[in-house]
């Protein structure tokens, strides 16, 4: 079975090939590298000018880096037993605090760094080395990743923890959200705005006139974001999202993926019933094809305050989840960014 390897594994193999060339003057056809658990990967390598490279293949995963070249160049410097990492073309630089490496460092994560170090030290044990990693087209590809939000500029990150890429890697997405939260907290923010996607962020910034970096898109993972916000010590959270997502949270769903949770119209029906809506209105809402259709029914029947009640329920459930250590406000919006309901904790 073909295995999808990470950019970190590719970088380790390319670096080892460059080190072999420095010692022997020959470029091997393949090299063997190990992850930190000792599992071996045999990868084909090639020489390209002063660099040595590996083509990254993602056989089992839809990966934006599938097919890219990961290149490395090892240079021997004056001195002993030191190793310097440099970002070449298409590898990002860290510009904001709160990530796993200091500001100014190449975005080559700690585990790939250790894999590269071990691979190269098998060939060149004690000399001072500079290792330059390059990913041509990395700056363009990085625009489709979390890097711009994390303050990683100029290209991609060199990633990996096990050496291989997991299909539909939810763990990587959750890790990116955690890193973004760390970065926001490290910048000194204690108030966090949570939205669900890009359109919601745009509306949130407009509604609250926000220009700062303390807005995070949680996607389907509002529970994960809330849990980490609590652990980090955020004091205030403002959730702003479309009624469709907010209604799921009001039902106690903290993963809002369509395969995992729903209950949107059921929650709306419950709140309308508590407001005294008759059975005809409840039935029409329940059989609505979309939440937007339900919003129009609520509007036409004049039950505007139901959205404030739903917003209050969302804030209460989020506070329960986070052990009442944070203030939580909720704003519900429609598809045009218009405000339907608000709960503000006094």
Tens-digit pLDDT profile for residues 269-301: 999 999 999 999 999 999 998 899 999 999 999
Q: Tell me the percentage of the chain whose pLDDT exceeds 90.
A: 79
Is 9 within 8 Å of 161 (Cβ atoms)?
A: no
**Average pLDDT of the residues in 231-258:** 96
Positive or negative torsion for Cα 199, 200, 201, 205: positive
Does pLDDT of 306 surpass 70?
Answer: yes
Inform me whether the pLDDT recorded for 344 exceeds 50: yes
Whole-angstrom distance, CA of residue 297 vs CA of residue 289: 12
Q: Would you state the structure tokens that stand for residue 65, as one six-digit string?
A: 């880096």
Q: Pick from 143, 256, 262, 264: which is nearest to 194 by CA?
A: 256
Contacts of 40 (CB under 8 A, 6+ apart): 32, 33, 34
Instruction: For tokens 């056809």, name the residue.
Output: 29
What is the average pLDDT score of the chain? 92
* Secondary structure of residue 331 in the 3-state scheme: strand
pLDDT of residue 1: 42
Whole-angstrom distance, CA of residue 217 vs CA of residue 215: 7
Q: What is the mean pLDDT of residues 16-41?
A: 93
Cα distances from 106 to residues 23, 56, 103, 134, 198, in angstroms, run 26, 20, 9, 11, 27
Reduced to 3 states, what is the DSSP secondary structure of residue 243? helix
> According to DSSP H, which parts of 73-169 are helical?
110-121, 138-142, 147-150
Higher-pLDDT residue of 153 and 145 is: 153
Beta-strand ranges (E) seen in 21-82 are 30-34, 40-44, 46-48, 51-55, 69-80
Task: Pull the structure tokens for residue 220.
Answer: 């389907």
Give the pLDDT confidence of 126-143 residue by residue, as tens digits.
Answer: 899 999 999 999 999 999
For the cut 90, the answer to whether the pLDDT of residue 61 exceeds it is no
Task: Please answer whether residues 5 and 164 qualify as being in contact, where contact means their C-beta atoms are separated by less than 8 angstroms.
Answer: yes
106 pLDDT above the threshold of 60: yes
Query: Which residues lie closer than 8 Å to 149 by C-beta, 6 or more apart?
Result: 180, 217
With a cut of 90, say whether residue 158 has pLDDT above it.
Answer: yes
Does the pLDDT at position 7 exceed 60?
A: yes
Q: Report the pLDDT averaged over residues 53-67.
A: 78
Residue 165 reports pLDDT greater than 80: no
- Whether the per-residue pLDDT at 163 is higher than 70: the answer is no
Q: Is it the case that residue 108 has pLDDT exceeding 70?
A: yes
> Alpha helix (H) ranges present in the chain?
7-24, 110-121, 138-142, 147-150, 170-186, 198-208, 222-232, 243-250, 264-274, 279-286, 291-301, 306-321
Give the residue-averaged pLDDT of 39-64: 85
pTM assigned to the model: 0.76
């Amino acid at each position: 079975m073909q295995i999808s390897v990470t950019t970190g594994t590719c970088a380790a193999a390319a670096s080892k090939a460059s080190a072999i060339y420095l010692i022997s003057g020959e470029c091997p056809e393949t090299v063997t590298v190990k992850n930190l658990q000792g599992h071996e990967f045999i990868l084909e390598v090639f020489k390209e000018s002063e660099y040595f490279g590996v083509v990254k293949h993602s056989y089992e995963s839809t990966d934006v880096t599938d097919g890219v070249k990961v290149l490395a160049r090892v240079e021997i410097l004056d001195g002993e037993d030191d190793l310097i990492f440099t970002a070449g073309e298409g590898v990002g630089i860290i510009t904001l605090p709160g990530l796993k490496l200091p500001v100014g460092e190449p975005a080559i994560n700690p585990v790939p760094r250790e894999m590269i170090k071990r691979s190269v030290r098998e060939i060149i044990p004690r000399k001072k080395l500079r290792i330059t990693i390059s990913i041509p087209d990395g700056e363009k590809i990085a625009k489709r990743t979390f890097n711009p939000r994390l303050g990683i500029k100029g290209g991609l990150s060199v990633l990996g923890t096990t050496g291989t890429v997991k299909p539909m890697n939810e763990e990587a997405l959750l890790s990116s959200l955690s890193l973004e939260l760390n970065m926001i907290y490290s910048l000194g923010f204690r108030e966090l705005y949570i939205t669900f996607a890009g359109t919601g962020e745009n509306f949130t910034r407009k509604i609250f006139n926000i220009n700062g970096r303390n807005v995070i898109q949680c996607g389907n993972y509002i529970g994960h974001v809330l849990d980490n916000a609590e652990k980090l010590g955020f004091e205030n959270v403002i959730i702003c999202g479309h009624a469709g997502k907010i209604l799921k949270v009001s039902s106690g769903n903290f993963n809002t993926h369509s395969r995992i949770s729903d209950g949107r119209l059921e929650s709306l029906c419950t709140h309308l019933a508590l407001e005294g809506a008759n059975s005809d209105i409840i039935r029409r809402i329940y059989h609505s094809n979309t939440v937007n259709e339900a919003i129009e029914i609520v509007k036409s029947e004049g039950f505007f305050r139901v959205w404030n009640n739903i917003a209050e329920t969302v804030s209460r459930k989020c506070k329960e989840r986070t052990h009442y250590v944070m203030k939580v406000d909720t704003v519900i919006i429609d598809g045009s960014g218009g405000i339907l309901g608000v709960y503000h904790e006094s």
